[in-house]
Structure 1
Amino acid sequence: MGGDVFVPSALIASAGNNANEYLAKHVAELGYLRPTIVASGGEARRRMGDIDFEVVIINTPLPDEFGHELSTYAVEKSNAGVILLAKAGTADQISDKLQQHGVLVLAKPFTGVQFRQAVQMAAACCRRLDYLRQENDKLRDKIAQIRLVDRAKCYLIEHKGMSEAEAHRMIEKTAMDTRRDRAEVAAEILEEE
């Protein structure tokens, strides 16, 4: 992290030049200085494979699809906060279903303030999801370490005739004495197999 500056990134899938300028202007006000703008759902999918976007904005309809399929794809395949822009009648019809998937639906026409608030909410969702995924990764690592230590204890019990308390104490003491974590010591013990 030393020296790296986080630059938030936004993807705008929209086929209209006027809309693109409007959307890009408003996301730039929020710190998304060079949003990636694409004109189709297919191109948006390709770009999502290359870049981790913080926010994905889909201005419906797109020339190759309406856009709701792209919004659920973006939710499933990325950590991005996803906003779907649709005409008021359509937005009302699809918002319940899409919101269940985690897509924010904003009815057109909307004000600049409403749009910026939606982008801020989507970005906040993305950051929250990133935090939860990091915590989940930490828990998985911890569980893997516990399993490794347990396997090493079982090895010591079965092959070295130690009691569970002795095996535990031996792993703990070796870890302290050698200033390593218990998982490293456990891995070393299991390498002896």
Structure 2
Amino acid sequence: MAKALIVSAGNNANEYLARHIAELGYTRPVIVPSGGEARRQMDGKDFEVIVINTPLPDEFGHELGTDAVQKTDAGVILLAKTGTAEQISDKLQEFGVLVLGKPFTAPQFRQAVQMAASNYKRLALLRVENQKLLDKIAQLRLVDRAKCYLIEKKGMTETDAHRLLEKPARDPGRSGGGVAQRPLDAADAE
């Protein structure tokens, strides 16, 4: 189940925020009173949503918001008094921090949490896609290294090296990287 972090020094606000987050299906959120403690929590846990209720006792909270966006995949919401929210929202939104002016209604808060959660999910999908692309690039590099080895050390033509590596890689259950690794392992054994 998804986890949420609430960074807030006010007990009344903590209960209000926790109750509305729970209504959206989150387990009991982790609640911490300061930016320093929030940073420690972010290092060890994966949060879907981080809510920062400003001001905090050790900092205002906007620095924590930008840190959270840069260091985690969480959707980040910063709660600030309406006047302050208007002043800082443009700058923080450039980083991907949602700013919600206080006072706000329960539906506005729940909508902000849902938007932050959708950002988290979208980023998670992008990270999976990015990893697939990185794996594909690594496989292509390995095949290229194997081709170079076969051309330089075994005297093959590029066409012959390509055919030697590509044909077995098309067999079901075999990857191009696994096929390409064999000549390189043989080279290391020599």
SS in 2 for 1:86: strand
Structure 2 residue 75 is the aligned partner of structure 1 residue 81: yes
Structure 2 residue 131 is the aligned partner of structure 1 residue 137: yes
**Aligned-residue offset at 1:166:** 0.8
**Aligned-residue offset at 1:33:** 2.2
**Aligned-residue offset at 1:178:** 8.6
For residues 177 and 89 of structure 1, do their structure 2 counterparts lie closer, same or farther at Cα, with a shift above 3 Å needed?
closer
Structure 2 residue 17 is the aligned partner of structure 1 residue 23: yes
Unaligned 5+ runs, structure 2: none
In the alignment, what sits opposite 1:4?
none
In the alignment, what sits opposite 1:66?
60
In the alignment, what sits opposite 1:9?
3
In the alignment, what sits opposite 1:184?
178
Task: Give the distance between the partners of 1:142 and 1:88, measured in 2 at CA.
Answer: 48
Could you tell me the percent identity over the aligned residues?
Answer: 70
Task: Give the distance between the partners of 1:138 and 1:177, measured in 2 at CA.
Answer: 20
**Aligned-residue offset at 1:182:** 1.3
More off after superposition, 85-94 vs 156-165: 156-165
More off after superposition, 176-185 vs 31-40: 176-185
Identify which of 34, 51, 54 aligns with 1:40.
34
Q: TM-score, normalised by structure 2?
A: 0.95
Task: Give the distance between the partners of 1:181 and 1:57, measured in 2 at CA.
Answer: 44
**Aligned-residue offset at 1:192:** 1.7
In the alignment, what sits opposite 1:3?
none
**RMSD of the TM alignment (CA)?**
1.1
Moved >3 Å (runs of 4+): 174-179
Q: Which amino acid aligns with 2:135?
A: D
